[in-house]
Chains A and B, each alone.
Chain A
Amino acid sequence: MRDDQQLPVTDLLDQYNQGNQQAYNELFSLVYHQLKKVAHNIKFGRSEFDTLNTTALVHEAYIKLFKHQKNNWESRRHFYSMAAKAIRHILLDHARKKLAKKRQRDEPESPAYPAMQLSFETAHDIDALEKALKKLEQYNPTVLKVIECRFYAGMSIQETAATLNISPSTVKRNWAMGRMWLHREIKKIQSPAFQKIMG
């Protein structure tokens, strides 16, 4: 009855949004294994490196969740954009743990899940990306959402357009310019001068 155990994904997302640690753990487990599957496929060279390609996870979870219900467009959109945010937070959480570990030296591995072995370089990049995203969130929430859907949830242009209820052209422009804008911010954040100011 494994199917049933995975059912309440929206509940998990809701609870996670309210800061429930158990919900976070379960959600993490789901995302972790999906990413692992995706990572495995990458080895066979089938995937593009454009986005994280976690869409399968999001679709799967959605289908399991809503299979007995009538197609509810609102809840579908809500679910998809929440899932994108969840993936963003999970990666950030890992990056920050990794960076903290550098200071504390070898912590024993967590018994619940095998650790995701981010390199320090990647952890730094994720951390810098998050700082840039925070700034973007204040400036322009729409561009931010496009980035979340595309980069973290691996949605296509069409899927992102449907999820955010905007035109595919808008998605393309937001994705193209947003990425370059973020990159510029990240370069600033990672520059030695900025590091000095921030200590």
Chain B
Amino acid sequence: MDFIRQDIWETIQHHLPENLDSREEIEEALARMKKLYPQYYKQIRELIDSRDSAARFFGHLNQSILQSFSEKEQTFRKGHQVGVYKIIRLLSAGGMTHVYLAERSDGDFSQQVAIKVMKQNISSEEVKRYFQREKQILADLNHPNIASIHDGGITREGRPFLVMEYIVGQPVTDYCDRQGLTIEQRIRLFDRVCQAVNHAHQNLVIHKDLKPSNIFVTEQGHIKLMDFGVAHILDESALNANTPLRAFTPAYASPEQIKNEKITTASDIYQLGLLFFQMVTGMHRDELEERLTTDVHLSKQPIIQNKKREILSYRGLNSMR
């Protein structure tokens, strides 16, 4: 008889171990079983001996289930048609979107673009109209330091997409460190970023997701801000489609984003502050906080004073002097 059957289980369960991490508890329980219920001893011993592989099985299953939500989402294959463009390959995958490298397929001229496609389908006509209207505002935003949005639309599958200038370069913070820029050069670079943000704000466009990976320096050394206003248009489309998604990057989120409050230009300014801190110290804010809580020596002194001395030397930023 199987020991798990209710009648048997009721009788023997009080002798079974609660905690399978305790060798002692297991041995005691098995000794009791052997004495009191020898007829079930063998199958229980066998089960307990396989506890690690059982734990692995459930742990693995769990992980696979969760991963099936976060990864391997429907991506377009090479050659897939999006508007007048043909997909070349996947560049990156974010929380709500995929970004592809693509080229025009109508033979007009060969120009490579980045296409950002929302993972989610939109069926509501109202949301589709909203998306078409908004994408025009972004397309009208012209600034040499802002990556342009060429076009946008809804794919055959019903997913909104935006066609953008394809930027080859590296995140501004990486660029600063690799080039060994001085503080002054870093500040000058940051100033260009601010001017671009200012231009967008004057045109009533908020970025909402300013962070190093959205601010590139091209091979020619030009600053390019990517995804201007894109977070907003995608957020709103998702919200209008009535799904509880709202994307932001936790490490660079402004307080109002975290609290899910109204986002204004102040949110961009906050993120510029975080960026500036990272550009001149080589350290992310969270890293500073962590260091302040773990490094007693550092936490006893005024942070500002320390910022200059301790932290600059911390990351080996000797190149900056």
Chain B residues, Cβ within 8 Å of A184? 47, 50, 54
Binary B-proximity of A157-175 (CB < 8 A = 1, otherwise 0): 0000000000001101110
Instruction: Give the number of residues in B that approach A within 8 Å (Cβ atoms).
Output: 48
A80 to chain B, nearest CB (A): 20
Chain B residues, Cβ within 8 Å of A176? 16-20, 51
A184 to chain B, nearest CB (A): 6
CA gap between A129 and B17 in the complex, in Å = 23
Instruction: Give the number of residues in A that approach B within 8 Å (Cβ atoms).
Output: 54
Chain A residues, Cβ within 8 Å of B245? 33
Chain A residues, Cβ within 8 Å of B258? none
Decide: A172 and B59 in contact? CB cutoff 8 A: no
Decide: B4 and A186 in contact? CB cutoff 8 A: no
Q: Which residue of B lies closest to A150 (CB)?
A: B58
- B108 lies within 8 A of chain A by Cβ: no
With beta carbons under 8 angstroms apart, the residue of A2, A43, A111, A129 that contacts B244 is: A2
Decide: A122 and B9 in contact? CB cutoff 8 A: no
Interface of A is mostly: helix
With beta carbons under 8 angstroms apart, the residue of A33, A122, A136 that contacts B68 is: A122
Q: Given A2-B244, A140-B9, A181-B47, A117–B64 Cβ distance below 8 Å?
A: no
Decide: B70 and A36 in contact? CB cutoff 8 A: yes
Q: Which residue of B lies closest to A125 (CB)?
A: B61
CA gap between A36 and B19 in the complex, in Å = 31
Q: Give the number of A-B contacts (CB < 8 Å).
A: 128
Chain A residues, Cβ within 8 Å of B72? 117, 119
CA gap between A51 and B65 in the complex, in Å = 11
- B2 lies within 8 A of chain A by Cβ: yes
Decide: B64 and A140 in contact? CB cutoff 8 A: no
From B115-123, B189-197, B261-269, the one touching the partner chain is: B115-123
Chain A residues, Cβ within 8 Å of B13? 170, 173-174, 177
Chain A residues, Cβ within 8 Å of B55? 179
B183 to chain A, nearest CB (A): 32
Q: Given A49-B63, A170-B13, A176-B17, A29–B123 Cβ distance below 8 Å?
A: no
A139 to chain B, nearest CB (A): 5
Chain A residues, Cβ within 8 Å of B242? 2, 5
- A13 lies within 8 A of chain B by Cβ: no
Decide: A179 and B61 in contact? CB cutoff 8 A: no
CA gap between A77 and B50 in the complex, in Å = 33
With beta carbons under 8 angstroms apart, the residue of A112, A125, A180 that contacts B51 is: A180
- B92 lies within 8 A of chain A by Cβ: no
With beta carbons under 8 angstroms apart, the residue of B4, B16, B47, B69 that contacts A140 is: B4
Decide: A52 and B4 in contact? CB cutoff 8 A: no
Q: Given A111-B121, A151-B58, A172-B18, A52–B2 Cβ distance below 8 Å?
A: no
Binary B-proximity of A97-124 (CB < 8 A = 1, otherwise 0): 0000000000001011011111101100
- B294 lies within 8 A of chain A by Cβ: no
A155 to chain B, nearest CB (A): 14
Binary B-proximity of A126-152 (CB < 8 A = 1, otherwise 0): 100100000010011111000000010
Q: Given A183-B50, A183-B57, A35–B243 Cβ distance below 8 Å?
A: no
Decide: B16 and A173 in contact? CB cutoff 8 A: yes
CA gap between A172 and B25 in the complex, in Å = 13
- A40 lies within 8 A of chain B by Cβ: yes
Chain A residues, Cβ within 8 Å of B4? 136, 139-140, 143, 177-178, 181
Chain A residues, Cβ within 8 Å of B54? 179-180, 182-184
Decide: B68 and A173 in contact? CB cutoff 8 A: no
Q: Which residue of A lies closest to B58 (CB)?
A: A179
Decide: A114 and B73 in contact? CB cutoff 8 A: yes
Decide: A114 and B68 in contact? CB cutoff 8 A: no
- A39 lies within 8 A of chain B by Cβ: yes
- B110 lies within 8 A of chain A by Cβ: no
Interfacial residues, chain B to chain A (CB-CB below 8 A): 2, 4-6, 9, 13, 16-20, 44, 47-48, 50-51, 53-55, 57-59, 61-74, 95, 119-121, 123, 157-158, 242-245, 250
Sorted nearest first, the 4 A-B pairs with minimum C-beta distance are A183-B54, A172-B18, A39-B70, A39-B69
